Amino acid sequence: MNEDQVTPECVEDEAVAAEATQDESPIAKLEAQLATAQQEVLYAKAETQNVRRRMEKDAQDARAYAATGFARDILSVSDNLERALAAIPAELREDEKFKGLVTGLEATGRELASVFERHGITRIVAVGEALDPNKHQAMMEMPNDEQAPGTILTEMQPGYMIKDRLLRPAMVIVAKAG
């Protein structure tokens, strides 16, 4: 039973009410009906409070995770921007003709990272960590004598969390015994 749920502790009143209905006196019948009515009111109050708590939690979750679909879609933009920056050779980074372009792309990457941070989107740390099937998706295994089996060697695609939920698992290459 969930600790948030409220349950009446007067279950004994039902037994008292049942015994009283066997008695023929009108007062006993009325007392039994009163006890039953009180019990029903307690159950109704408990159910109302439980429904209210569930609705509040659902509303909080809706606010916290409303952008999940959009965030998943924008991750591919982030991936493409990272790949574009990584593909620029060092000599072009120093070339005066391309310096403005490179600076603009880097600034866009920083701004995107800032937006992610403001909205609770964090990158999953993968390389060097043990494989966690809740955060990582193993794409390959590679023989490796330097790392323990199950250790992540390479990240093929970064993974992300939105607050405490998985947004996208990290696609990784994992070490296996050589």
Give the Cα separation of 149 and 73 in Å (integer).
Answer: 33
pTM for this prediction: 0.62
Statement to judge: residues 58 and 21 lie in one domain = yes
Statement to judge: residues 51 and 73 lie in one domain = no
Amino acid making up residue 48: T
Which pLDDT score, from 0 to 100, does residue 7 have? 53
Q: Are 105 and 85 a contacting pair, CB within 8 Å?
A: yes
Structural domains of the chain, count: 3
Q: What share of the chain is helix, strand, coil (3-state, %, to 5)?
A: 55, 20, 25
Give Cβ neighbours of residue 163 (< 8 Å, ≥ 6 apart): 64, 65, 120
Statement to judge: residues 52 and 78 lie in one domain = no
Residue 106 CA: distances (Å) to CA of 1, 38, 71, 84, 127: 52, 68, 20, 10, 23
Give the Cα separation of 136 and 130 in Å (integer).
Answer: 9
Phi and psi angles of residue 35, each rounded to the nearest 5 degrees, phi first: -65, -40
Q: Could you tell me if residue 1 is inside a domain?
A: no
Q: Which residue has the higher pLDDT, 49 or 4?
A: 49
Q: Could you tell me if residue 57 is inside a domain?
A: yes
Query: Where a domain ends, among 65, 85, 104?
Result: 65
Q: Could you tell me if residue 113 is inside a domain?
A: yes
Query: pLDDT per residue over 58-74, tens digit each?
Result: 888 887 777 788 888 88
Amino acid making up residue 126: A
Q: Could you tell me if residue 35 is inside a domain?
A: yes
Q: Are 166 and 178 a contacting pair, CB within 8 Å?
A: no
Lowest average pLDDT, out of 32-46, 87-101, 118-132, goes to 87-101
Query: Where a domain ends, among 99, 119, 139?
Result: 119
Q: Could you tell me if residue 154 is inside a domain?
A: yes
Residue range(s) defining the domain that contains residue 105: 68-119
pLDDT score of 11 more than 50: no
Q: Could you tell me if residue 107 is inside a domain?
A: yes
Q: Are 143 and 176 a contacting pair, CB within 8 Å?
A: yes
At 154, is the secondary structure helix, strand, or coil? strand
